[in-house]
Amino acid sequence: MDMLYKVFIEPFVFMGEAPDLLIQTLWEGLVSGVLYALIALGFVLIFKASGVFNFAQGIMVVFAALTLVGLYEKGVPAFLALILAVLVMLVLAIVVERVVLRPLVNQPDIILFMATFGLTYFLIGFGELIFGGNPKEMITDALFLPQGTTELDMLGGMVRFQHLDIAAAVIASIMIGLLAVFFSKTRIGRALRAVADSHKAALSVGISLNQIWVIVWFAAGIVALVAGIMWGARSGVSFSLQIIALKALPVLILGGFTSIPGAIIGGLIIGVGEKIGEFYWGPLVGGGVETWLAYVIALLFLLYRPQGLFGEKIIERI
């Protein structure tokens, strides 16, 4: 009986007693969720265009952020380093298309998936060779990323809003919005959607698959750079960031592998869900539920919507 009370009643009583902490938890969840969504977006872009689940998206986040910080540490001015980091991601996209994707055209999806595994380990080794394994501090002041905290007295308590978190949420939202407009309103975006629907049909109307792949890998690279800057500013840039990127997996299961809105909504549900779960129910099992709760939430969704919230319903004739 006591356990039932602790599971079903006590957390809600506590939410009512300390609404400021509820708001704080929701805010932390939203910020994490937006960042998860940003990482998931990189996966979605590539999956939509090529049907490949890009396992290397996590290390691309680290690689992009390390490139930026590494150049800055070498004395390159911050904004020039930012531009150069974008160019490095463009070069990476071209190299991936030429060296990895093009030779594997018409191979089963699992082969391409395994190729992204290879790419992951290559980028880890290459990154460590160039930048070393030490964690680095993300540039903040020079990129005009705000620091500091606003403390608001509300609901009988206090809620802290980090300026950096607010900036992360705003920048990520703008980024997501721009990508949504780019892929729905522009010619390239329409071409991408055509490729996503059918490679053969797209080829027959003169759309270059190779060009599209470079564009989506480059877009995923930019998304990785933004995600790397934001996560890096919060907690430093190190190779362990790539593990956080795997949190995008339940986000994708939830939102669907092909849906940009799905990545956003999925990210927010996972972000808020895991923070609420850890904060209110974690103590019942000694804490640490955040590590697996996201996957449980995703699994529950899978039971009812295998294609995810916004994914395309798969109908296969057998």
Partner 1 sequence: MSFRKLGLGLAAATMLAGMALPAFAQDSVYVPLFTYRTGPFAGSGTHIADGMHDYLRMLNERDGGIGGVKLALEECETGYDTKKGVECYESVKGKNPVIVNPWSTGITLPLIPRASVDKIPILSMAYGLSASARGDIFPWVFNPPATYWDGLSMIVKYIGEKEGGLEKLKGKKIGFLHLDAAFGKEPIPLLQEMAKDIGFEVALYPVAAQDMQNQSSQWLSARRDRPDYMIMWGWGSMNGAAVKEAVRSGYPMDKFYSVWWPGEDDARAGGAGAKGFKMLNWHAVGTNFPAIQDIQKHVVDKGLSKAQKDKVGELLYNRGVYNSLLIAEGIAQAQKVTGKKVVTGEDVRRGMENIKLDPARLKELGLEGFTDQLVLSCSDHNGHRAAFMQEWDGTKWVKISKPIEPMTDRVKGQLEAAAKDYADKNAGWPKRSEACDKAS
- For CA atoms 193, 194, 197, 202, give the dihedral sign: negative
Tokens standing for 192?
A: 């991408």
Tokens standing for 188?
A: 């390239």
Chain Cα centroid distance, residue 255:
12
Q: In angstroms, what is the minimal distance from the CB of 21 to partner 1?
A: 6
Break the chain down into helix, strand, coil percent, rounded to 5: 75, 5, 20
236: contact with partner 1 by CB under 8 A: yes
Q: In angstroms, what is the minimal distance from the CB of 220 to partner 1?
A: 21
The footprint of partner 1 on residues 107-126 (CB under 8 A) is: 124
With b meaning 16 or more CB within 10 Å and e meaning fewer, what string describes 188-225? ebebbebbbeebeebeeeebebeebbbbbbbbbbbbbb
Per CB under 8 A, which region of 68-76, 80-88, 192-200, 272-280 contacts partner 1?
A: 272-280
Angle at which helices 209-235 and 78-95 pack, to 10 degrees? 140
Per CB under 8 A, which region of 97-105, 218-226, 280-288, 299-307 contacts partner 1?
A: 280-288
- Selected binder of partner 1 within 150, 198, 210, 291 (CB under 8 A): 291
204: contact with partner 1 by CB under 8 A: no
Per CB under 8 A, which region of 40-48, 105-113, 233-241, 251-259 contacts partner 1?
A: 233-241
Amino acid at 267: G
| Distance from C-alpha of 54 to C-alpha of 123, rounded to nearest angstrom | 13
Decide: 270 and 255 in contact? Cβ < 8 Å: no
The footprint of partner 1 on residues 294-313 (CB under 8 A) is: none
258: contact with partner 1 by CB under 8 A: no
- Selected binder of partner 1 within 55, 63, 217, 231 (CB under 8 A): 231
Nearest to 293 by CA among 259, 238, 254, 235: 254
244: contact with partner 1 by CB under 8 A: yes
19: contact with partner 1 by CB under 8 A: no
The footprint of partner 1 on residues 127-186 (CB under 8 A) is: 128, 132-135, 137, 147, 149, 160, 162
- By CB under 8 A, name the binding residues for partner 1: 18, 21, 24-25, 28, 31-32, 124, 128, 132-135, 137, 147, 149, 160, 162, 231, 234-236, 238-241, 243-244, 246-247, 274-275, 278-279, 282-283, 286-288, 290-291
